[in-house]
Every structure is written in C-alpha cells, then in structure tokens.
Amino acid sequence: MILGLAAALVISGKPYVTHHWGTKVDKKYEISVDFPTFHGTSPLVRLANRTVSVELQKAKDFVVFTKKEQKENPGFGAGYDYESGFSVSTFRSDLISLSFGINSYEGGAHGSNTSRPYNFGTVHGAAKRLKLQDLFKTGLKGREIVSKIVMAKLAKDDRAQWVADGTVKALDGETCEAFVISAKGLEYTFDQYVMGSYAVGPVDCIVSFAELRGQLDPGGPLRSFLRGR
C-alpha cells in the first residue's frame, strides 16, 4: 500500500505547514516522515525549506535500501521500519531552529533512535545553515568553550557513562553541532552510543546563554535572543 504525499496539514498558529509521506508493505517495511514548509519568502525561510526537504529523500532512500536488503536476504522475518518527525525550537525572522527525530529498525536486536538538528540564521547579511562557531565573537573558539561546559555537566550525569570512564573527554567536530537553539540556550541531544550505552538512551544537556555571557557575538545570529526580543 502506498500512502504517498498527503495534503499539507495546516496547524493553526504554527509558522509552518506539515507535510506527510509514507509507504507500507505488510511484513516487509513501513516508512513514515513528517516535514515542514515554513511560511514566508525571505532568503532564510527559503534556505530552511530547501534544506529540511532532504528528510523526505532520506525516507525514500530507506525504501530503496530496504528493498535491496530484503531481496538479498529473503528469509529475514521482521519488517523494516523508519519513522521521522520534527520539532521546531525557534522561528524568528532572523533565526530558525528545529530537529528531526528518527526511529528506525533494520534488523538485529533492536532499532535505533537518532536526531538531526538544523539551525539557520544570518551571518554577515547572508542566510546560512549555522555552525556553532557562527555564534561566537571573532577570535574565540566556540567548540572549546562549549565543550568545557558540557563535559562538566555530563560528568555529573549518570547517563553519560563514557564521560565518567574517560572514553569521551571533549566534544568533537560532529558532537559540538548536535544542538538546537531555544529561549533556554543551546539544547544538546547526544544520540545513543555517543555518551553512553544503548540502554541509557539519548543524553541531553543545555548550555544557557548566561553561561556564554560576553562570548557570543552580539551582532550575530543570536542577536534577537541576546537583546531580549
């Protein structure tokens, strides 16, 4: 059964339209993905819409992968699953932040839960997908600053097993980007196996704007938060 691209669902009061796509073949696979189209025509909104639409393609790629795997392993009994949804943390004229949560099963003892954050802002007058370093004043090393704060917090978190045993000592180029931006600050979500075993699940950590006071670029992508609007 093919569900296809359903009509857009307009949610009252939300700055976006939610689209749904899915496909299902009984006992073989079931795929479902929701993704937004933000309202507006600014360069920032157009960039965000163009970029996050890749989540639909990732779901379709999973269908191709599944068909190939099941053709090569016809005796495999369990069906494959892929479910993707999103949550918007911030939508402002100068800043958009959201994250996709993906639950998937490709065989084995258990499935996986992963997150993909997307942050968009304006840097030197141009819309771009943000990196952590874009938020800081010139000359400061954003990763080192945030890593020190996060590691100190995770050292007190029982879920962060691999911080406690010394396996993880700092954020690397990938984990330092695992955040969304909200009124609370930089909200980090580390997937299973990043800071601990599968059993502990994702590990979260918030770095508040107050903890980064004096180090964030007051004219950068976070300017509206830093000015209190």
Q: Quick one: DSSP state of residue 196?
A: S
pLDDT given for residue 108 in this prediction: 67
Tokens of residue 84, six digits: 């993707």
pLDDT given for residue 223 in this prediction: 94
Tokens of residue 30, six digits: 């079931």
Are 216 and 145 in contact, with CB atoms under 8 Å apart? no
pLDDT given for residue 10 in this prediction: 46
DSSP 126-139: EEEE--GGGGBPTT
- Dihedral of CA 59/63/68/71: which sign? positive
Are 115 and 49 in contact, with CB atoms under 8 Å apart? no
Q: Quick one: DSSP state of residue 108?
A: S
pLDDT given for residue 112 in this prediction: 83
Q: Looking at the chain, how many residues does it have?
A: 229
pLDDT given for residue 158 in this prediction: 95
DSSP β-ladder status, 29-38 and 80-92: parallel
Mean pLDDT by 10 residues, the chain (229 residues): 44 83 82 94 98 91 81 70 94 96 80 92 96 98 98 97 96 96 97 92 96 96 85
pTM assigned to the model: 0.89
pLDDT given for residue 2 in this prediction: 40
DSSP β-ladder status, 9-10 and 185-190: unpaired
Residue pointed to by tokens 């009252």: 12
Q: Tell me whether residue 101 is exposed, middle or buried, using C-beta atoms within 10 angstroms of its C-beta: 0 to 12, 13 to 18, 19 or more.
A: middle
